[in-house]
Amino acid sequence: MSESSDLFDSSSGSRLLSETPFFASGSSLSSLTGPGGDDLSISELSLSDKPEAGQPDNGAPPNDAEELERLKKHTGRLRDEKLQNDAFALKKLNAALKSFSDALGDVGSQTESVAAQLDQTEALLNKYVGILSGSEEFARLIFDEQWQGADADEEIIAQEQREAEETARKIEVERVAAAQREQERLRRAELERVAQKEREQVERDRNERAAARGGVRGVRGTRASMRATRGSRGVRQVYGGAACRMRPVITLPRDSA
């Protein structure tokens, strides 16, 4: 982070392009960056290379090959120095950005460490709250005058467990008995339904037989009454006087049914 602070320090100015690389020549150490200086930027270099390479010196003869060669060498040397200075500046900038990125990574790791510590602190606080709750329960038991000790508590717990088991057993027995009663009720209802059906059938058969016997009796009774009437008339005609006062006894035939 020391390099980044040097690069962006407002009081000392920008030192990124003014810092001299170790491979710069002596003639370029005193030059300035910008228009008219030796240390040109990459954009200025791309625009200024061609005119300098093709522009002849006004004071030299145009056909002087040695002077043209010297100008070309000087221009190439300046271009190389400018490129080296720009590369050095870019390396410094990359180093500063890398330092800044590493610092951000360290901050992220520290944030994760703080979050992990907070989780551990929360877990410890939960344990502490649990311990305090247990201590409060223990204190309540200690100061309880009716508390008879752990053995009595175990006996009470065992008694409650036995009572719960007995209650569950009674509930199960009652459930089984209720199921049996329901089955017995259904069985009796079925038997009653069958018996009622049989009684109704017997009653219908009896009524049918009675109706059939009633028709036969009516025919036989009519015939017997007709014979009795004819017999009584013959007796009155044969016997006269006092004999007519005697009421003959007529025997009616019995119904065979």
Query: Is the Cα torsion angle 39, 45, 48, 53 positive or negative in sign?
Result: positive
pLDDT of residue 229: 59
Q: How many whole angstroms separate alpha carbon 165 and alpha carbon 202?
A: 55
pLDDT of residue 67: 86
Same domain flag for 105 and 199: no
Give 110's Cβ-side CA count (13 Å radius): 6
Beta-bridge partners for 39? 33
- In order of 218, 221, 252, the CA distances from 229 in angstroms are 17, 13, 11
pLDDT of residue 142: 79
Judge whether 122 lies within some domain. no
pLDDT of residue 240: 46
pLDDT of residue 226: 61
Same domain flag for 104 and 161: no
pLDDT of residue 63: 56
pLDDT of residue 110: 85
Instruction: Report whether 82 contacts 40 (CB < 8 A).
Output: yes
Same domain flag for 43 and 93: yes
Domain encompassing residue 165: 157-231
pLDDT of residue 227: 62
pLDDT of residue 194: 94
Same domain flag for 92 and 180: no
Same domain flag for 175 and 113: no
pLDDT of residue 222: 56
Residue with tokens 């017995």: 184
pTM of the entire predicted model: 0.27
Q: Which of 117, 137, 167 is the last residue of a domain?
A: 117
Same domain flag for 196 and 103: no
pLDDT of residue 56: 46
Judge whether 7 lies within some domain. yes
Same domain flag for 192 and 106: no
The two tokens of residue 234 are: 């013959």
Start-to-end CA distance of the chain, whole Å, equals: 137
Give 41's Cβ-side CA count (13 Å radius): 5
pLDDT of residue 122: 93
Same domain flag for 45 and 108: yes
pLDDT of residue 153: 79
Name the stretches of the chain with pLDDT < 70: 1-63, 215-257
Instruction: Report whether 92 contacts 16 (CB < 8 A).
Output: yes
Same domain flag for 109 and 184: no
- Work out how many domains the chain is built from and give that number: 2
Instruction: Report whether 33 contacts 94 (CB < 8 A).
Output: no
Same domain flag for 106 and 168: no
